[in-house]
Structure 1
Amino acid sequence: MTSRKKRTARVGLFIFFLLSCLGGLVAFVVLVDIPSRVADRFGPPAEELSLPERLYYAWALFLHERQLHAPSEVEDGEVIFTIGTDEPTSAIIQRLKQSGLIQDEEAFRILLVYSGLDRGIQAGQYELSPAMDSIQVARALQKGGRLEITVTILSGWRAEEIARVLRLSGLLESESQFLEIVRQPPQWEVLKSLDDPPGLEGFLMPGSYTFRRGTSAEQIIAQMVERFARTLTPEIREGFARQGLTLYQGVILASIVEREGVVKEEYPLIASVFLNRLRTGMKLDSDPTVQYALGYDAQLNTWWKNPLKSEDLKINSPYNTYINTGLPPTPICNPGLEALQAVANPAQTSYYYFRARCDQSGRHVFSETYEQHLSQACHE
C-alpha cells in the first residue's frame, strides 16, 4: 500500500511538473513570443497603449496577418486618396475599403490602433495603390498627407544645415546620403559647365524649392546645382575672370563674403577688401573660415561658433585664413546671388580692413590702414 501511494505521489508530481511547464510555455508565448514577433513585423506598439492592450492588439494582429499582407488587387495603379480635416478614423477606413485600397476593415483598424495611427491621421492627399497591402497603406498614411513639400534654403548655409532641414521636412530619411553626394558628386553634365568642381559645397543654390515626397537625395541636389548653373550668368563668370579668379575661386570668395556680410548692400565693399588682400599677398583673416574649420559646436548648438576665442584662431586647418594665405580649399557655405555678384563686380576701394560697427546694426566700418582699423574699435 505504501509503495502504491509513493507511485501515485510521483505520478502526481510529474503531472504537476508537466502542467507547470505547459503553463510556463503558454505564458511565454502569450506574453513574450507573439508580441515580439508582431513587433518585428509591424513595429513597436503605440506608447499610449496599456500592457493588456498591447498584448490584445499584438495577438489580434498575429491572427489577422494574412489579411493585412494581401493586397486588394494585383494590378498596380495610382489612386489619390484625400483625407479631410477632422475626418473620423472609422470613416477613413470605410472609404479605403470602398476605394479598393484595403481588404479587411477590422484588420486595418487593429493595425492603426496598435501603431497609434488611429488618433492622428493627417488631412491631405495620399498617393496610394490597390496593389499595396494594408501594411504599406498604413505606412503611407504615417508619412503625412502632403504629396509635395516646399523648403526654403537660406543663403550662407553649409551643406550639413541644408541636409538637416531636408530631413526635418520629411524629404530625407538620412542626412548622410545627401552629404556623401555633396562631397563626391556624380558625373553630371551640368557640372562640366561649372568646371567640374571637386565637391558641391558652394554650388547648392539657396532659395525655395518644392519637391514631391519620395524625391531622392540625388534628384534634390541636382535641382539645386542646376539652379546654381542658371544663376551663374556669363556676366558673373566674366566678372570673376576680371578679378583674376577662376570660377571655383570666385565661388569660394563669394561664400566668405556671404558669411561676413549682414547688410547685402555692403557685399561689394567686403568683396573689395578681400580682393585687395589677395592681390597683395595678405592673409584674409576671416572669422567664418575658422568657424567652418571648427565645425559643429554641440555646446552652442550651431555650425557657426560665435564669438570665437583667441585659441580658435590658431586651429591647424587649411581653412584657417589667420594662419594661411590665399583662399581656403573649398567654399565654406552656399552663397546667394548678391554675394556672387559682389565678387564679380566689387566696389573699387583701397580698403584692407573692416569691422562691425558699434551700434549693433550689422553694418561695418572700413579702413585703409591697420592704425585706422584699430581706432574704430568699440569701447565700453
Structure 2
Amino acid sequence: MYIKRILLVIALLGLVVAGYFANFVYRAMIRPNTAFNNELAYIYIPTDADYQMVRNELEPLLDDIDSFDDLAKKKQYINNIKAGRYAIRKGMNNNDIINTIRSKNLPIKVSFNNINSLEKLAGKIGQEIEADSLSLLQAMVDEAFLKENGFNEATALGMYLPNSYEFFWNTSAEAFRTRMLREYERFWNESRVQKAAEIGLNPNQVMTLASIVYEESKQAEEQPKIAGVYINRLNIGMPLQADPTLKFAAYKLPKYENTIIKRVLNEHKEIDSPYNTYKRLGLPPGLIAMPDISAIEAVLNYDKTKYLYFVADAERPGYHKFSKTLAEHNRKALAYQRYLNAQGIRK
C-alpha cells in the first residue's frame, strides 16, 4: 500500500511537471505572440545592442513579452544579439521571432542620383543605413583612402555611381565606402578605360566632363552631341566655356548663397575660380555634380561632329541648338536671349 502511494505521488508530480512543461512549450513556443495589425512589422537592432535594447524594440509588438524573455533565455539568444533589420510577421510565435532576429537580416535598397556634393550624399545615405551622415562624410573624404585609390577631394564624388544598391541596414560608413569603390572599379572595366585613353582622358577626367554634360542636359539622346562639342573644344585648345561650371563656382561664394542662378551673366564670367572654364583652359579640378550613367557613356561614346557651340532651344525646353561657327551660334544665342527677356528672366 505504501509503495502504491509513493508511485501515485510520483505519477501526480509527473503530471504536474508535464503539464507545466506543456504549458511552457505552448505559451513560449507555439502560441502566436504578436500585437500588431499589419502583416509585417520591422525592427532595427543597432550594432553592439544588448538584450534590453532588443526587448525595448519588441515589447510594443508582442502580446506577452515575459514569455519571449523565457524562451530567449532558454535559447541563449540574450547573449548572442545580431545587429540588423528584421521583419516580424503577424501571427509569429516566440520561436519563429527568435529564429528570425537571429539569422534573417534583411537588406534594404539604397538609391541615389542627381547629388552635387559629398555632404548631401552622406546626408541621404545616413537616413537609410545605421551609419550617420558625419561618419559617412569622414569616410568619404579620408585623405589616405582617397590617395590610395587615385582620388582627391575634388574627384571623390565620381566614385559614387548613381544607381540602386542593396545594403544591410547595419552597414558601417567604411563598409559603404568600400562597396562603392568595388562598384566603381567594376564599372571602369578594361573596355571603358581603353575608350577613355583613346579620348586622351583618364576615368576621373571622364567623370568630371560627364558631370558638366549632365548639368547641361538631362536628355540622354542629346548628351553625346554635347560631349562631342566639349571634346572638340579640348582638342583645339579652346576654353570649355561651360555655364554650369560658372554656377558651381558662384554658389561657393557668399554673394550667391541661397540664390538660384537662372541666367549666366558677364559678372559670373569674372569669378576667380579654378571652375571658371571661361577664364581657364581644360577641365576643372573635379566634378560639379554626380553624373548619370548616360552622361558618362555619352563622353566615352561622344558624337564625332564639327560642332563647337550650342545654346538652349526655346522652342524645345531641355534641348539645344548646335552650331559649327561663332557667327551662326551668335544668331541662335541672340534669339534665346530675347526669349529670356520676354520671360522676365534677368538673372
TM-score class, shorter? 0.5 to 0.7
1:149 aligns with 2:118: no
Is the contact between residue 231 and residue 337 of structure 1 (CA under 8 Å) also seen in structure 2? no
Aligned to 1:281: 237
Cα distance between partner residues in 1 of 2:257 and 2:135:
22
Is the contact between residue 83 and residue 124 of structure 1 (CA under 8 Å) also seen in structure 2? no
Aligned to 2:69: 100
User: 1:306-353 CA distances to partner (integer Å, 9 max, x unpaired)?
Assistant: 444543332221112122111111122232332222222211111111
Q: Which runs of 5+ in 1 are unaligned?
A: 1-80, 104-122, 127-145
Q: How does 1:284-299 map to 2 (within 5 A)?
A: 284-295=240-251, 299=258
Secondary structure, aligned partner of 2:321: strand
Cα distance between partner residues in 1 of 2:187 and 2:314:
35
Aligned to 1:166: 125
Over 3 Å counting, the alpha-carbon distance change for 1:163 and 1:318 in structure 2 is same
Q: How does 1:166-185 map to 2 (within 5 A)?
A: 166-169=125-128, 171-174=130-133, 176-184=134-142
Aligned partner letter, 2:136: F
Is the contact between residue 238 and residue 344 of structure 1 (CA under 8 Å) also seen in structure 2? no
Aligned to 2:189: 233
Cα distance between partner residues in 2 of 1:125 and 1:93:
10
How many correspondences in the alignment? 254
User: 1:65-87 CA distances to partner (integer Å, 9 max, x unpaired)?
Assistant: xxxxxxxxxxxxxxxx9874469
Cα distance between partner residues in 2 of 1:188 and 1:125:
40
Match of 2:151 among 167, 189, 197: 197
Root-mean-square deviation (Å): 3.4
Cα distance between partner residues in 1 of 2:286 and 2:141:
11
Cα distance between partner residues in 2 of 1:222 and 1:229:
11
Aligned to 1:116: none
Is the contact between residue 155 and residue 258 of structure 1 (CA under 8 Å) also seen in structure 2? no
Is the contact between residue 35 and residue 60 of structure 2 (CA under 8 Å) also seen in structure 1? no
1:246 aligns with 2:195: no
* Aligned-residue offset at 1:299: 2.7
Q: In percent, how many aligned pairs have the same letter?
A: 30
Secondary structure, aligned partner of 1:220: helix
* Aligned-residue offset at 1:278: 1.0
Over 3 Å counting, the alpha-carbon distance change for 1:85 and 1:292 in structure 2 is farther
Over 3 Å counting, the alpha-carbon distance change for 1:182 and 1:83 in structure 2 is farther
Aligned partner letter, 1:198: N
Q: TM-score, normalised by structure 1?
A: 0.58
Is the contact between residue 115 and residue 121 of structure 2 (CA under 8 Å) also seen in structure 1? no
Q: Which runs of 5+ in 2 are unaligned?
A: 1-32, 42-57, 73-85, 90-104, 340-347
User: 1:144-166 CA distances to partner (integer Å, 9 max, x unpaired)?
Assistant: xx954322111564323322222
Aligned to 1:357: 313
Secondary structure, aligned partner of 2:228: helix
Over 3 Å counting, the alpha-carbon distance change for 1:258 and 1:82 in structure 2 is farther
Aligned to 1:78: none
Is the contact between residue 82 and residue 124 of structure 1 (CA under 8 Å) also seen in structure 2? no
* Aligned-residue offset at 1:171: 4.3
Is the contact between residue 149 and residue 171 of structure 1 (CA under 8 Å) also seen in structure 2? no
Aligned to 2:300: 344
Aligned partner letter, 1:214: N
Q: How does 1:55-70 map to 2 (within 5 A)?
A: none
Is the contact between residue 202 and residue 332 of structure 1 (CA under 8 Å) also seen in structure 2? no
Aligned partner letter, 2:306: S
Cα distance between partner residues in 1 of 2:135 and 2:316:
39
User: 1:197-242 CA distances to partner (integer Å, 9 max, x unpaired)?
Assistant: 2242211111012222221122222222211211122222111111
Q: TM-score, normalised by structure 2?
A: 0.63
Cα distance between partner residues in 1 of 2:317 and 2:248:
24
Secondary structure, aligned partner of 1:340: helix
Aligned to 2:76: none
Cα distance between partner residues in 2 of 1:237 and 1:169:
32
Aligned partner letter, 2:277: T
Over 3 Å counting, the alpha-carbon distance change for 1:213 and 1:360 in structure 2 is same
Cα distance between partner residues in 2 of 1:233 and 1:318:
30
Is the contact between residue 152 and residue 206 of structure 1 (CA under 8 Å) also seen in structure 2? yes
